[in-house]
Amino acid sequence: MKHAILLMGALGLAAVGSLSAAAAPRAEVIFDHPENFTDVKDQFTPTDKGRDAILKALRDFIVREAGYHVPAGCRLTLTFTDVDLAGDFEPWRGPDFDEIRIVRDIYPPEFKFAYVLTDPAGRVVKQGREDLRDLAFQMRVTLDHQDPLRYEKSMLSDWLRASLRGVKTAGS
């Protein structure tokens, strides 16, 4: 009986190990000098903690979405050189508005980044630079109206879907 329990435990650990290898993220997101980004502010007087939380939310979203769009075994590396979130803070509204981002069409979201998609052997399949700006961002249909990054996430999701559609690797 003890041997059977030990054997089942060892098999369980082996299964978990193979699952974690299979579930390795298909994307890596790098924020190059985020302190110089145009607008990744959590309030009118920004904090590093707020900036880092926003960038972490964007990174987590991209890594999750890449699982749907990046071919199995491939790896996408995105290196962001600038981020400008939708909306802005308007200090002339008074101190009660220091933490309220006003979203209007004059403040569109923008991302500048380079990307490299490599196949399982490490060969470059696709690469390039992007300067994404969505002037009609408020016309996007977003499901989660409570998500403060809904416009940015929608833009990035559309880019991933369009840019990686039909990508062929050596094995496909």
Q: What is the pLDDT of residues 2-55, one digit of tens each?
A: 555 544 555 555 444 444 445 688 999 999 999 999 999 877 777 889 899 999
Q: In the 3-class helix/strand/coil scheme, how is the chain assigned residue by residue?
A: CHHHHHHHHHHHHHHHHHHHHHCCCCEEEEECCHHHCCECCCCCCCCHHHHHHHHHHHHHHHHHHHHHHCCCCCEEEEEEEEEECCCECCHHHCHHHCCCCECCCCCCCEEEEEEEEECCCCCEEEEEEEEEECCCHHHCCCCCCCCCCHHHHHHHHHHHHHHHCCCCCCCC
Domain boundary assignment for the chain:
25-164
Mean pLDDT of the chain: 84
Rounded average pLDDT over 58-63:
97
